[in-house]
Structure 1
Amino acid sequence: METPKNPQPKNPLHGITLAVILETLVANYGWEHLAKKVKINCFKKDPSIKSCLTFLRKTPWARTKVEQLYLKLKK
Structure 2
Amino acid sequence: MTEKPKDPLHGMTLQAILERLVQAYGWDGLAKQVDIRCFKSDPSIKSSLTFLRRTPWAREQVEKLYVKLVQGRK
TM-score range for the pair, normalised by the shorter chain length: 0.7 to 0.9
Q: Aligned in 2, Cα 1:28/1:10: closer, same or farther, shift over 3 Å?
A: closer
Query: For residues 18-37 of structure 1, what are the structure 2 equivalents within 5 Å?
Result: 18-37=14-33
TM-score, normalization by structure 1: 0.84
Give the residue type in structure 2 aligned to 1:46. Answer: D
Q: Superposition RMSD on alpha carbons, in Å? A: 1.3
TM-score, normalization by structure 2: 0.86
Counterparts of 2:45 and 2:64, CA distance in 1: 18
Q: State the aligned residue count.
A: 67
Q: Which runs of 5+ in 1 are unaligned?
A: 1-8
Identity of aligned residues (%): 69
User: Does 1:57 pair with 2:74?
Assistant: no
Counterparts of 2:6 and 2:59, CA distance in 1: 19
Greater gyration radius: 1
Counterparts of 1:11 and 1:22, CA distance in 2: 17
